[in-house]
Structure 1
Amino acid sequence: MKITNILFTGRLVDELEGLLNAEEMLNGKRVRFVPDGEVSSEDLDWADAFVAFHPVAHFQFANLKWVHSLGAGVDRYMALGDRWPEDVLLTRTITSFGQKIGEYTLSYMLKEVQHHNRFQEQQGRAAWKMVAPRALDEVKVVVFGTGEIGQELARILGLFGVQVEGVSRSGADKDHFFRVMSLGEIDDSSLAEADFIINTLPLTKETAGLFDERLFGCMNQAVIINVGRGGTVDHGALLNALDSGSLKAAVLDVFEEEPLPADSPLWSHPGVTVTPHISAITTPEEAVVCFLETLDAVESGGELRNRVDVGRGY
């Protein structure tokens, strides 16, 4: 596939322009760097490649041959639904997301098992009361999503002796997991015994609202950490689970609407920790490396590890 006109937009557009132009990495290509909100219909008609985190408000395929997401998630592209042409390639960014999410997740797991909140509260009362920390090799984790990110997360946790079970669409065995269950055959007893439930799933028709009253009802004082997609979780059901004791706490980095609205009850619930979608940020440097590698593969016919199966949505 020959790519000639490339349109960049979104929050990293200035950084990408500086990096790509400084190194003259796109020599021979015609390129436009347009701020988010300023992309015109003429820009879209001109481009045969579109590079951004998500489609612009008036997005149209026009003459596009290739769309490249600057993030790992492509749910906002998939929201275009049946409009996606068969001859338009969709790729996503693959970087060190698994490592970053592993570190993010581990930080909150350690906070829990080392009783950080309890000791901070005791300090405020000048109370000296010993509570033994839990060892990580005593902890059981269920990770929803066994792709590249889920496997790297399981590998990192396994280094500390954590027993990690996985849940995936197919239930196929994957490296670093004690066992893997399919979405349709989740073992309720595994959820009941889990100390942490970690969601890395993409948002698809199968995963939308997956974490509902029934699923939360299987849990027993678990901590849920969501680094997948906000739309996979019914937040009303989550709050009910926190209030009933099925959940001990929730660490949420992704939401169906971002930024999270100021009137959301998630902000003020004592059992919820909110972070602003920072568990695996794409840096400009990483974005450039992945984009250039993908461009080379697109034009040379090489292997595309980051190609999105539009039918599946990931």
Structure 2
Amino acid sequence: MNVLFAAPATSWETYRAPLFRAFDQAGLQATLHTDPDAAPETVDYIVYAPAGPVSDFTPFSRCKAVLSLWAGVETIVLNPTLTQPLCRMVDSGLQEGMVEWVTGHVLRHHLSMDRHIVNPLHNWDPAVPPLARDRKVTVLGLGELGRACAQALRALNFAVAGWARTHHSLEGIPCLHGADGLRPALARAEIAVLLLPLTAETENLLNHERLGWMPEGAVLINPGRGALVDDEALLAALGRGGLSHATLDVFRTEPLPAAHPFWAHPQVTVTPHIASATRPETAAQVIVENIRRSEAGEALLFRVDRAQGY
């Protein structure tokens, strides 16, 4: 089979060996190349990432699936030339990395670590934090990553609830959904974690009104998508004291411009989109497993629902 690796050139060096290993382990024969102009009508599968060499999928008339290396697909899902099945990336390395980043920052805010780590006046502040069972955390977004983070936080004994646009069920974790469930989900959230996909329905989900539903002194943690939050509304909520802090890993423009007020704001932590990343070794296994499934006539993993946008 003919597989086109349509990602930025720098990615090929890190993915080449893991992909060949994964094909060997699966017992599949494949020709991998990086030239989208080399007989596109013969390509069976496209391994895709944004900013790669392919934006027009029309020439790939034989292509059976486009397999994204990214968890987010908002930059491609509405492409009118994409008529092939599209699969987003969910791999164990990406999931583990997200769980580690989210639990680390939830614990950081729960334990008020910043006041001891950054303490130039040497204030002796013996305030003891509550136990995790008394700290209410809401995870917004219950896909693969959201579920994994919610379950990890519950295992640490946090009082976790979840919210999603559609109904979900998680053992030991109350799950709210839809427009009616959003306000109570936010109203209980001493710490809110955003892990929603970016769609027309979720853009600016946390606006002035909805940020105002959160408890006074709440913390917002966003490793999902930058446009889930209205930046101006967030700054206003921090300014009036409604929110005590925002830890942000994703932004509307990346890298975050040097003049953006988030950089200098004392109640904002900026991390440079490192909450999690696709790991070539585990991602290659997901890519090859989906190709094996396609060749065997089985259902593809993590296939995107075009109507929902993820």
Q: TM-score, structure 2 length as denominator?
A: 0.88
* 3-state SS of 2:264 partner: coil
Q: 1:57-72 residue pairs with structure 2 within 5 A?
A: 59-61=55-57, 62-63=59-60, 64-72=63-71
Distance in 1, matches of 2:142 and 2:23, equals 38
Greater displacement, 56-65 / 279-288:
56-65
* 3-state SS of 1:165 partner: strand
CA contact (8 A) 1:253 1:275 kept: yes
Deviations 1:68-122 (A, max 9, x none): 1112111111242x4432xx01012211233322221111122122222212344
* 3-state SS of 1:76 partner: coil
Distance in 2, matches of 1:193 and 1:28, equals 53
Report what 2:179 is aligned to.
Answer: 184
Report what 1:98 is aligned to.
Answer: 95
CA contact (8 A) 2:2 2:31 kept: yes
Q: Which amino acid aligns with 2:296?
A: S
Distance in 1, matches of 2:194 and 2:263, equals 20
Q: 1:74-89 residue pairs with structure 2 within 5 A?
A: 74-80=73-79, 82-85=80-83, 88-89=84-85
Report what 1:297 is aligned to.
Answer: 293
Report what 2:262 is aligned to.
Answer: 266
CA contact (8 A) 1:7 1:43 kept: no
Distance in 2, matches of 1:161 and 1:277, equals 27
Shift of 1:306: 1.2
CA contact (8 A) 2:90 2:144 kept: no
CA contact (8 A) 2:7 2:51 kept: no
Q: 1:30 to 1:190 in 2, by over 3 A?
A: closer
CA contact (8 A) 2:6 2:52 kept: no
Report what 1:120 is aligned to.
Answer: 117
Q: 1:157 to 1:295 in 2, by over 3 A?
A: same
Distance in 2, matches of 1:66 and 1:156, equals 33
* Unmatched runs of 5 consecutive residues or more in structure 1: 35-39
Q: 1:124-143 residue pairs with structure 2 within 5 A?
A: 124-143=120-139
Percent pairwise identity:
31
Report what 1:32 is aligned to.
Answer: 33
* Unmatched runs of 5 consecutive residues or more in structure 2: none
Q: 1:185 to 1:108 in 2, by over 3 A?
A: same
CA contact (8 A) 1:151 1:176 kept: no
Distance in 2, matches of 1:98 and 1:22, equals 21
Distance in 1, matches of 2:68 and 2:22, equals 22
* 3-state SS of 1:267 partner: helix
Shift of 1:190: 4.1
* Greater RCO structure (CA 8 Å; 6+ sep): 2
Report what 2:233 is aligned to.
Answer: 237
- RMSD between superposed Cα atoms in Å: 2.3
Q: TM-score, structure 1 length as denominator?
A: 0.87
Q: 1:288 to 1:173 in 2, by over 3 A?
A: closer
* 3-state SS of 2:235 partner: helix
